[in-house]
Amino acid sequence: MTSFIHIPILAEEITELLVRDANGVYLDGTLGLGGHSGHIIKRLAAGGKVIGLDKDAEAIKMARENVNDERLKTFNLSYTEAAEALALAGESGVDGALFDLGLSSYQLDDAQRGFSFLRQGPLDMRFDGRGELRAYDIVNKYSADKLTDIFENYGEERQASKIALAICMARRESPIETTTALAALIEKTVGRGGKIHPATRVFQALRIAVNDELACVKAAPYVAKDILKVGGRAAFLTFHSTEDRIIKQAFKEIVSSGDYKLVNKKVIEPSWEEIKKNPRARSAKLRVMERVK
């Protein structure tokens, strides 16, 4: 199996905030390559357990190899199915839960997954290979209006309509089949200025649309609150403003019931030292809530 390196973001901070019972049950709702789970397991006693979920079956295989610990139980499920996973694991609740809403480094680095405009690959972008909708289908079949909506709402792309029109015109000649072809078309359409590649927001938007990510993100805090034991904490790691706003608003609503509280009223961000070591950490934001009764 191909070896990929993934550096978990804010791993020490997340572990410190979540693990308060060494014999507790913890959920890693987005297992990835097991980076965060590995950190959590190091803090656990023999009776502790981590339940790891991921829609990506390949990620689960690699996470098992990386963590290599019987206390990690894995399920090929979405974090929105956390309650089902707990039932399968014979657990009724968790002492801590992590939802890392970022894209795993290995998914970016594997050209055949189609997530990165820096590597030529098919326009795929599915987290779960069993899904039917691919980025190719959106790019080559959706109307200009629908593409504009996706680029604006999911990518906050200011030149969404211009890019959407260029895509529709280009695909009349032949389908847009690869990541690099789409990136080149976007760059040709809007030009290049600044440090951020002009295709960045469009690729983010396509990934979100393919995987229906925002619907999952909106559901996640409510899934989390229902599986937490009293005293249990749920941590959410986001990487763009749309997700962070959703989590912030959901926390506000959940806390208003009086059964939960915010652990950190001010968002936690990586240190400059961590960002220097891992530039992909630069946009990360961490929010944590606790069930108090």
CB 97 within 8 A of CB 228: yes
Q: Is the pLDDT of residue 68 over 50?
A: yes
Torsion of CA 147, 149, 154, 158, to 10 degrees: 90
Q: What is the mean pLDDT of residues 88-96?
A: 96
**164-206: per-residue pLDDT in tens?**
999 999 999 999 999 999 999 999 999 988 788 999 999 999 9
Q: What is the pTM of this model?
A: 0.85
Question: Residues 263-279: pLDDT tens digits?
Answer: 998 999 999 999 999 98
Report percent pLDDT > 70 for the chain: 96
Banded pLDDT at 105 (limits 50, 70, 90)? low
Quick one: pLDDT band at residue 1, thresholds 50, 70, 90?
very low
How do the domains of the chain map onto residue ranges? 11-106+213-291, 116-211
CATH code 3.40.50.1820 for 116-211? no
Range 277-285, long-range pairs (CB < 8 A, 24+ positions): 277/7, 278/7, 278/9, 280/7, 280/9, 280/102, 280/105, 281/7, 281/9, 281/10, 283/239, 283/240, 284/9, 284/10, 284/102, 284/237, 284/238, 284/239, 285/237, 285/238, 285/239, 285/244
Q: Is 101 exposed, middle or buried (0-12, 13-18, 19+ CB in 10 A)?
A: buried
Angle at 133 between CA 155 and CA 224, to 5 degrees: 65
Residue 2 pLDDT > 50: no
Average pLDDT of the residues in 112-130: 89
CATH architecture of 11-106+213-291: 3-Layer(aba) Sandwich (3.40)
